[in-house]
C-alpha cells in the first residue's frame, strides 16, 4: 500500500480522484448499492449522505446515475475528503456535492436533512482479532506486514468496541426526513448483524431486511446490505 494517486472511473463515466489506500471495498460493491437501491428503495432521492465515504465511490455512483440531486460525503480522514473535492471539481459537480471532515455523525450541522443514507463502515469490532487475522492474511499472501500497513487497514476496517456504529445509530435520526432509507453494508456475521439491527431499532429505525451483495461473493460470501427506514 502507498499514497500513489490513482484515478478510478465509475461505470457511469465519473472519474474519481482516488488514493489506493482509501478503498475499503467501495470500488467493487458500489454496484451492489446501485442495484439493491433500485430494487428496494425509491427511484430518486433529493439529498444523500454517504457515511464513511472514503473517496466517494457509492455517492458518486448514485449521482452519476441520476438517482439523486445532491450528495453529502463525510469521512474522518481529511485526505479522503480532499479527494472527494478534487473529483467534484474535475467532473463539474461542485453544485451537487457537499463534504465534511468529521469522525462522528453527531458533528454534522443539524440543518442537514437526508432522504437516503449509505454506508460502508469499518466492520471488525475487536483489535486483537483484527491484528491476528491481518497478520495471517499477509503471511499467506507472502507479504511483510509493516506498521504503515496496519495503520491504513485499521483506519479502513476497525471499529473497536462497535463505537462507530453505536454513535451512528444514536445520532442519525435527527438528520433523517420521514420515510428516509438507509443502506449499510456489513460482512454477514450473524452476531454482528444482530447487534447492528438492535442498535438501529433501539434508536427508532425500522428494519426492512437484508440483501446479499453479489460482488463480494468471492471474498466475503455472507456480505449483506442492511436496509433500514425512518418513521
Over residues 126-183, the pLDDT tens digits come to: 888 888 888 888 888 888 888 988 898 899 888 999 999 999 999 999 999 999 999 9
Q: Which comes out higher in pLDDT, residue 130 or 218?
A: 130
The whole-angstrom separation of Cα 224 and Cα 228 is 13
User: Where does the chain show beta strands of DSSP type E?
Assistant: 5-9, 15-19, 45-51, 68-75, 97-101, 114-119, 176-186, 206-212, 224-229
Q: Please give the DSSP secondary-structure letter assigned to residue 230.
A: -
Task: Read off the pLDDT of residues 43-62 as tens digits, 9 standing for 90 and up.
Answer: 999 999 999 999 999 999 99
Q: At 220, is the pLDDT very low, low, confident or very high (cuts 50, 70, 90)?
A: low
Identify which of 72, 90, 121, 98 has the alpha carbon closest to the alpha carbon of residue 226: 121
Note the pLDDT of residue 206. 98
* Alpha-carbon span 61 to 193, nearest angstrom: 25
**What's the pLDDT at 1?**
40
**Best CA proximity match to 33, nearest among 50, 46, 55:** 50
Q: What 3-state class would DSSP assign to 190?
A: helix
pLDDT range class, residue 114, cuts 50, 70, 90: very high
The pLDDT value given to residue 203: 98
Digit-coded pLDDT (tens) for 57-76: 999 999 999 999 999 999 99
Please give the torsion angle defined by the CA atoms of residues 66, 217, 187 and 179, in that order, rounded to the nearest 10 degrees: 30
- H helices of 163-209, in order, are 163-171, 190-202
Quote the percentage of the chain above a pLDDT of 90. 68
CB count within 10 Å of CB 154 equals 16
- pLDDT average, residue stretch 187-206: 93
DSSP class of residue 31?
Answer: H
The pLDDT-based confidence of 205 (bands split at 50, 70, 90) is very high
| Alpha carbon of residue 129 to chain centroid | 22
Query: Could you tell me the domains of the chain?
Result: 5-123+159-229 (3.40.50.150)
* Dihedral over Cα of 128, 133, 139, 145: its sign: negative
Residue of higher predicted confidence among 218 and 167: 167
Phi, psi of 169 (to 5 degrees): -70, -25
pTM: 0.92
Please give the pLDDT value at position 92.
Answer: 97
Residue 198 has a pLDDT of 97
Amino acid at each position: 500500500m502507498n499514497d500513489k494517486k490513482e484515478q478510478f472511473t465509475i461505470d457511469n463515466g465519473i472519474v474519481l480522484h482516488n488514493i489506493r489506500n482509501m478503498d475499503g471495498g467501495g470500488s467493487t460493491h458500489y454496484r451492489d448499492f446501485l442495484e439493491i437501491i433500485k430494487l428496494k428503495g425509491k427511484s430518486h432521492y433529493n439529498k444523500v449522505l454517504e457515511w464513511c465515504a472514503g473517496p466517494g465511490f457509492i455517492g458518486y455512483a448514485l449521482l452519476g446515475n441520476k438517482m439523486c440531486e445532491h450528495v453529502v460525503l463525510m469521512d474522518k480522514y481529511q485526505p479522503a475528503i480532499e479527494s472527494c473535492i478534487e473529483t467534484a471539481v474535475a467532473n463539474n459537480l461542485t453544485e451537487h456535492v457537499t463534504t465534511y471532515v468529521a469522525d462522528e455523525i453527531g458533528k454534522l450541522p443539524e440543518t442537514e436533512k437526508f432522504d437516503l443514507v449509505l454506508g460502508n463502515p469499518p466492520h471488525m469490532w475487536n483489535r486483537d482479532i483484527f491484528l491476528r487475522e491481518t497478520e495471517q492474511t499477509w503471511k499467506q499472501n507472502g507479504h511483510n506486514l509493516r506498521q504503515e500497513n496496519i495503520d491504513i487497514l485499521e483506519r479502513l476496517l476497525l471499529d473497536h468496541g462497535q463505537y462507530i456504529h453505536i454513535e451512528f445509530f444514536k445520532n442519525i435520526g435527527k438528520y433523517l426526513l420521514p420515510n428516509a432509507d438507509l443502506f449499510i453494508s456489513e460482512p454477514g456475521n450473524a452476531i454482528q448483524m444482530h447487534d447492528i439491527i438492535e442498535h438501529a431499532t433501539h434508536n427508532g429505525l425500522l428494519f426492512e431486511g437484508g440483501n446479499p451483495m453479489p460482488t463480494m461473493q468471492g471474498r466475503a460470501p455472507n456480505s449483506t446490505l442492511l436496509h433500514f427506514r425512518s418513521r
